[in-house]
Amino acid sequence: MIDKPYEIEKKSMEIIEEELRSKGLLDSIDPTLLPLFKRVIHTSADFDYAENLKFINFSLEDIKKLLMSGTATIITDTNMALSGINKTVLKNSGAKALCFMNDEEVKKAAKERGKTRAIISMEYASGLYKNAIYSIGNAPTALIRTGELIEQGLLNPALIIAVPVGFVNVVESKKYIERVCKALHIPLICAEGRKGGSNISAAIINALFYSIENIRNEDSSPALEERKKDLKNGEDKNKAGVSYEDKYIISHGRKLRCGFTTGSCAALSALGAARNLFAKKALREPLAIMTPKGVEVKVLPESSSYDEKENTGYCSVLKDAGEDMDVTDGIEIFARVSLLENSSNIVIEGGEGIGRVTRKGLSQDVGEKAINPVPLAMIEESLERAREEAGLETGLKCTISVPKGEEIALSTFNKNLGIEGGISIIGTTGIVEPMSEKAFSDAICLEISQLAAEGYKRLILLIGNYGKEYIKRPEFSDFKHVVCSNFIGEAIDAVIANKYEEVLIVGHSGKLIKLSGGIMNTHSLYADCRLELITLYAALNGAPLSLCKRLLDQVSTDEALRLLSETDIYEKVLDSLLDKIQYHINERIRRDRAAGTIKIGALLFTGNSKENSLLGISSVGKEILYK
């Protein structure tokens, strides 16, 4: 009996080859690709793959060179496929394999846009790794989106492995990607028909690696030895993967370049200043850090100096916000580093232009410098690194300053958040994503948290500035308010997390009517179906076809509602819309286990910023206002 794993695998491969021969299939397979066919059949016990695996624009030698380059990246559409890739070959080759299905940004974007995580994960990956190997073994939607990104010029993969499995859109997605790859000369391995799966995806990747001699043996690869040297020298190429200058995101069909945060800027400045201190001279060499996002930021310092009399190093770096509309773009962030006598501690302070915290609810205590925890850790890591390079254990004092910080802060949300006298040093990933809505929604959620920390339990979520005049009325006097803009879903989640008791969402009909369709981000880029929703509920309440057509022809919700007000179904339509708005709010609450007994209702008004009137209040809204 054969009981050793290697011998079992070897015998299995012999059986597969013999059976391929007996079925008359062996002669039709390229001998250099036979091990790959056998690996897939070994994984699936399905000989159909001998006939349905297709190779387009494919060169095994080119792929082998890529896999052994030490820079190869493989993107999968499932964690199952990721876990099936042999970890030894990844280590020996210096390659890395990634899946973004569980990434928090991907989850959030999928929820907001009503798209599958598989689609969003491909978009997200394309902004980081445009020349990677993309292996799709589960979701045909991910394969279709990958093809679209290629056609749009936003992705140029080294190889596509197209093996999604199933009955819906699977065959069509494979035919589509074949057309794209043929037209644009993209290498492709495709399992035609319905068959495939994450296990097949992993099997193909492993087979490509196994085509490299000795790749499966521990410590046998020349690439591994080079990798060890890189790690010893502190240059983790596998971790870096991509420079911030090569990182893009796709925003509404546009390719936008990323930048780096004020936190990264401060960490780079601190590194340069500490090196100047230990070298006892001004250095003009590039500075590089690895951000928490796993993206390298490498820049030249804007200024670099050493004060011999004070025994102090100085360095500054200009912030590059990429194509983000960021008021801090181009500002100069300085670091001053000196020795801390009789101590091995690292002390980091905020100097000129760094704000101070004046309200509870932030990650720093009142009176502390406005340097967030992640940037603080990045600065400390840079100082530790410089100290290790110098072979010393001496204590260091680092002061971060932004000479124009107080002036720039006037154009930020800082005052609302309780940060006075300057800007914040912020950033959880170290990378700025262009036109990112995340920073805006994070600021809104932070304001909600701060009010909760100050003991408030009743809150108005205001959809835009139109409602500011409206909520000056006496019935709203004991409510605090936060302008949540279009981010209704995030704001609801935030009030639940902060254990508010009663919350009223107040907004113009042009925004809040979208909520009757379950739309939790009311920006027109995501959805604009206001007139369609009004028309739907008009039709459900007996509106004739002629009226429905007229409603759809209106230019605004105000005009559509004015038209409806001339009919005898007006009140019924309003009630239907309000009931559905309340339903979707309740559903959002119900999905959160921490929701408890919170009440969230809605109030709609119509008109403009100067003159507006009540349109309607949802059932829970009435309970909150008129209890």
pLDDT digits (tens, 9 = 90+) for 371-393: 988 899 999 999 999 999 999 88
Please state, for a pLDDT cut of 70, what percent of the chain lies above it: 88
For residues 527 and 147, which has the higher predicted lDDT (pLDDT)? Answer: 147
What Cα–Cα distance (Å) separates residue 518 from each residue in 66, 72, 134, 486, 512?
Answer: 46, 42, 33, 13, 10
For residues 1 and 345, which has the higher predicted lDDT (pLDDT)? Answer: 345
For residues 304 and 65, which has the higher predicted lDDT (pLDDT)? Answer: 304
- Of 240, 227, 280, 35, which is closest to residue 128 (Cα–Cα)? 240
Mean pLDDT of 238-265: 65
Which of 53-67, 243-257, 465-479 is predicted least confidently? 243-257
Most confident of 104-118, 568-582, 601-615: 568-582
pLDDT tens digit sequence for 181-222: 988 889 999 999 999 999 999 999 999 999 886 665 544 444
Mark whether 481 is an active-site residue: no
Residue 89 has a pLDDT of 87
Q: How far, rounded to the nearest angstrom, does the alpha carbon of residue 36 sit from its chain's CA centroid?
A: 34
Mean pLDDT of 153-178: 91
For residues 31 and 220, which has the higher predicted lDDT (pLDDT)? Answer: 31
Confidence band (pLDDT; 50, 70, 90) for 28? Answer: confident
For residues 444 and 345, which has the higher predicted lDDT (pLDDT)? Answer: 345
Residue 247 has a pLDDT of 63
Residue 221 has a pLDDT of 43
Residue 246 has a pLDDT of 62
Task: Supply the mean pLDDT for the chain.
Answer: 86
Which two structure tokens, joined as six digits, stand for 36? 């790959």
**Cβ-Cβ contacts under 8 Å for 568 (sequence gap 6 or more):** none
Residue 7 has a pLDDT of 79
Residue 342 has a pLDDT of 87
Residue 227 has a pLDDT of 39
Which two structure tokens, joined as six digits, stand for 497? 């997390």
Which two structure tokens, joined as six digits, stand for 255? 């390719």
Mean pLDDT of 102-130: 86
pLDDT surpassing 70 at residue 226: no
Residue 439 has a pLDDT of 64
Which of 67-76, 310-319, 617-626 is predicted least confidently? 67-76
pLDDT surpassing 60 at residue 505: yes
Residue 323 has a pLDDT of 76
Residue 5 has a pLDDT of 66
pLDDT surpassing 60 at residue 289: yes
Mean pLDDT of 103-117: 86
Confidence band (pLDDT; 50, 70, 90) for 168? Answer: confident
Dihedral, CA of residue 216, residue 219, residue 223 and residue 225, to nearest 10: 180
How many whole angstroms separate alpha carbon 172 and alpha carbon 159?
19
Please state, for a pLDDT cut of 90, what percent of the chain lies above it: 52
pLDDT tens digit sequence for 291-311: 887 788 999 999 999 999 999
Strand pairing partners for 502? 458, 599
Mean pLDDT of 353-360: 89
Residue 15 has a pLDDT of 93
Residue 220 has a pLDDT of 44
In the block, residue with structure tokens 């994984």: 43
Confidence band (pLDDT; 50, 70, 90) for 228? Answer: very low
Confidence band (pLDDT; 50, 70, 90) for 575? Answer: very high
Residue 164 has a pLDDT of 94
- Please indicate, yes or no, whether the overall pTM of this predicted structure exceeds 0.75: no
Confidence band (pLDDT; 50, 70, 90) for 234? Answer: very low
For residues 227 and 435, which has the higher predicted lDDT (pLDDT)? Answer: 435
What Cα–Cα distance (Å) separates residue 206 from each residue in 49, 203, 216?
Answer: 16, 5, 10
What Cα–Cα distance (Å) separates residue 579 from each residue in 218, 343, 512, 585, 620?
Answer: 64, 65, 12, 10, 10
- Of 324, 372, 326, which is closest to residue 348 (Cα–Cα)? 372
What are the DSSP calls for 81-149, one per residue?
HHHHS-HHHHHHHT-EEE--TT-HHHHHHHHHHT--HHHHHHHHHHHH-TTSEEEESS-HHHHHHHHHH
What Cα–Cα distance (Å) separates residue 347 from each residue in 9, 177, 617?
Answer: 58, 55, 54
Residue 222 has a pLDDT of 45
Mean pLDDT of 66-95: 88
pLDDT surpassing 60 at residue 252: no
What are the DSSP calls for 290-333, one per residue?
E-TTS-EEEE--SEEEEETTTTEEEEEEE---TTS--TTTT-EE
Residue 232 has a pLDDT of 38
User: Phi and psi for 514 in degrees, rounded to 5?
Assistant: -60, -30
From the candidates 42, 185, 252, 481, give the one annotated as an active-site residue.
42
pLDDT surpassing 90 at residue 338: yes
Mean pLDDT of 569-585: 96
